[in-house]
Amino acid sequence: MKSQTLFGIHAVSARIRMKPETVHEIFVDQSRRDHRMNKVLEIAKEKNLRVMGVSGERLDGMTGHARHQGIAANVEPARLPQFIDDVLDTLEVPPFLLVLDGVTDPHNLGACLRVADAAGCHAVIAPKDRSVGLTATAMKVASGAAESMPYIVVTNLARTLLQLKERNVWIVGADEGGTTPLFSAKLTGPLAWVLGAEGEGLRRLTRERCDEIVSIPMFGSVESLNVSVASGVCLFEARRQREMSGK
């Protein structure tokens, strides 16, 4: 399996802590030795991992001049479930999923993964086309969530939504034209939130596959929210209801 470059303090430290066996080498800026870097190096030493001091210029080249924060690692791709059935078949609680339709910005994807992990989702689903994919930048922004949150890429999103419905998962889309206000929606039980990219929203076929379309009340002058912010609002409202109902 082809190795990949992971960079950023949070992303690298999360991989070291959670899956040290997948880390081949760690490269650190030899001129940086602050508290955060030293903490990562301590964990790497505990795990008996190889650490190499390199120049900032070499790190720039390895990461495509991304904001690497002085650290990068050569790692194996994380082994997480690749199919939604692999996730659903192991659950002993109602599924709680986030579906992203047309999110092409790696920063948005990384932030959505981070929010999904924080809210206790079981997986994030996205189509193969019109989707950014789990790039190094997305993993950095995810701040470790990419190591624990299954990211399921599907060939046909509309068909996947139908398959979820066949497994009694309630499909709720978030869209500014939704007829149900968020705080009036029932969000307990098996649930999949579906969100589209900011500005474009849900595609027609995706929207048609939803059981319900919900809108987020807006009380100020802005008309819409970034998809990662909207995901946080929707997921945590669902989490609040699930905690209160015990479901």
DSSP category for residue 147: G
pLDDT at 1: 56
pLDDT at 247: 59
Q: What mean pLDDT, rounded, does the chain reach?
A: 91
pLDDT at 245: 83
Looking at residues 190-209, what average pLDDT do you find?
90
Looking at residues 108-127, what average pLDDT do you find?
96
State the sign of the Cα–Cα–Cα–Cα dihedral 176, 180, 182, 188: negative
45/136: higher pLDDT? 45
79/103: higher pLDDT? 103
Res. 191 pLDDT band, cuts 50 70 90: very high
> Per the CATH hierarchy, to which homologous superfamily does domain 84-245 belong?
SPOUT methyltransferase, trefoil knot domain (3.40.1280.10)
**Which are the contacts of 13, defined by CB distance < 8 A and separation ≥ 6?**
39, 40, 43, 144
Which one of 3.30.1330.30, 3.40.50.2300, 1.10.10.10, 3.30.2010.10 gives the CATH number of domain 4-75? Answer: 3.30.1330.30
Residues of the chain with CATH 3.40.1280.10: 84-245
User: How many residues are recorded in the chain?
Assistant: 247
pLDDT at 180: 94
pLDDT at 32: 80
Looking at residues 127-144, what average pLDDT do you find?
87
Bridge partners, 25 (sequence order): 74
- Alpha-carbon distance of 36 to 42, in angstroms, equals 10
Residues of the chain with CATH 3.30.1330.30: 4-75
Question: CA 201 → CA 70, 215, 227, distances in Å?
Answer: 37, 12, 9
pLDDT at 4: 85
